[in-house]
Amino acid sequence: MWRILISCQYALALFATVLVYPMRADEPSVATFWAAAAEVNITPQIGIPLVGPGSASTGVADELFARILVLSDGHQSVVIVTSDLVGVGIPYAEAVGAAIEKKTGIPAGRVMFNCSHTHSGPGASLPEDDTEASYGREVFGKVVAATVDCVSRLEPARLRAGREAVQIGFNRRMPRGDGITMAPNPHGSVVPWVDVLGVYRKDGTRIAILFSYAAHPVVIHSASTLISADYPGYAVAHLRRMLGGGDAESGLLLFAQGCGGNINAFPLKGGLEACSRTGLVLAQAVTRVSLEDVPPAPIRDASLTVQLPLQKPPPVAECKRLLAADPDDQRLVELLQLAKENKPRTMPYPIRGFALGNTLCILSLPHESFCDYQLWADGESPYRDTFVFGYTGGVHAYVATARAYRMGLLGGYEASPRRSGLNSQYRTPPQPVAEQIIKGGITEIWRSLAQSAENQSAQTQSSAK
């Protein structure tokens, strides 16, 4: 059975529900935020496979990092982990959250694990044998230890948020004839801005700068077999130079990937020098941003996993025909088995939200979600500032729009059941109704955050009597 399936009608009902839970101005008083940040080097050994060139790495162009930002209102804390990884699975992200909860007491639901999705970096996973060493286990241990360190040295902080216009990516879904090809589409949807959260000490020096942009890090891609964080890593390097290299005043710099499932950073396969130029454009935008205070307020969180129904495989006869043409393709073997079983299947889609008072909401969406979800959430959000991260909490498949899925085999690489859908571990993509389910889930997150504010306010008023 599907754990949570939000129908189209229910999704619309959730959208209406959020309107009856307005943000409250009389929340419990918080004198200040608290914060700490850390980074750990997660550069793998040379020879690790890279998805961009489709071969083993032959060297290191720039090192990879996992970076941690812990924010607290003095009562409860949230953790944002950013990483120069192509992706991790949902079980991996959940395991990191569980380990952080065990070590720090911060509930796993208050941990976001974001992957930049660099195509010049590896993914991370845990072997089934708990005693077996692996790159994924090494990253796991470093992230948990760094988070514990952050929690031990939280200090009073001032938060400021803002947005600056910039475009270093292009929609990669170009209509051609009756279908979609992968090419720059100047008229396609993009997220033409960078979101920035500045975290400062009371003396004005920086603890951290978190910046987020939505685009595939594929400026290097197959142009090099060197390990690299791609444009996010170059943007961090340029910002260090602009702001002061690594001293207390420059602060830690964290990049969080947005919903870039249908966006490629430009130029695709441009190489290392082009990647540096692209990173510079993004870094310059970060330095231009005008930030506004996020007033000290309670930090609230909400989590929800919706289940996206998957498309049915082709009929058994067609699966047999496909397999006969390519009998060594294990994907088609599994597709045929699914056709024979003929059972409803779903894909988990964990959504998370952190609200800092009434001002800032950070939403996280999993998988390679299209930028259209980020644009929708930004337009519908009841908060002044809304950051939307993609590739967070697990990356298993593309998540396109209903319109793209309805195109069937003509839906392009991300939406066609014969392309990325077949490549995913599920072997078929989600159904078009997934869009309504996701939007309903996001709306439910906002409703839960608003209800949490109501409950906090009621508790405060009761204690005062």
Helices and strands counted in the chain (H then E): 12, 22
CB 1 within 8 A of CB 305: no
Strands (E), 42-128: 49-50, 55-56, 59-60, 65-72, 77-83, 111-115
The pLDDT value recorded for residue 260 is 98
Pairing verdict, β 226-227 and 263-265? unpaired
Whole-structure pTM value: 0.92
Strands (E), 320-450: 346-356, 360-364, 368-369, 385-389, 398-399
The pLDDT value recorded for residue 133 is 87
Element spanning 156, H or E = strand 155-165
Cα separation values, 82 from 104, 174, 266, Å: 19, 31, 22
> What span, in angstroms and rounded, lies between the C-alpha atoms of 161 and 359?
9
The domain ranges of the chain are 31-300+354-397, 311-341
Cα separation values, 438 from 290, 304, 352, 359, 446, Å: 31, 10, 12, 23, 13
Which pLDDT tens digits describe the chain residue by residue (465 residues)?
443 344 444 444 444 333 333 444 445 679 999 999 999 999 999 999 999 999 999 999 999 999 999 999 999 999 999 999 999 999 999 999 999 999 999 999 999 999 999 999 999 999 888 888 899 999 999 999 999 999 999 999 999 999 999 999 999 999 998 899 999 999 999 999 999 999 999 999 999 999 999 999 999 999 999 999 999 999 999 999 999 754 545 689 999 999 999 999 999 999 999 999 999 999 999 999 999 999 999 999 999 999 999 999 999 999 999 999 999 999 999 999 999 999 999 999 999 999 999 999 999 999 999 999 999 999 999 999 999 999 999 999 999 999 999 999 999 999 999 999 999 999 999 999 999 999 999 999 999 999 876 665 555 555 544
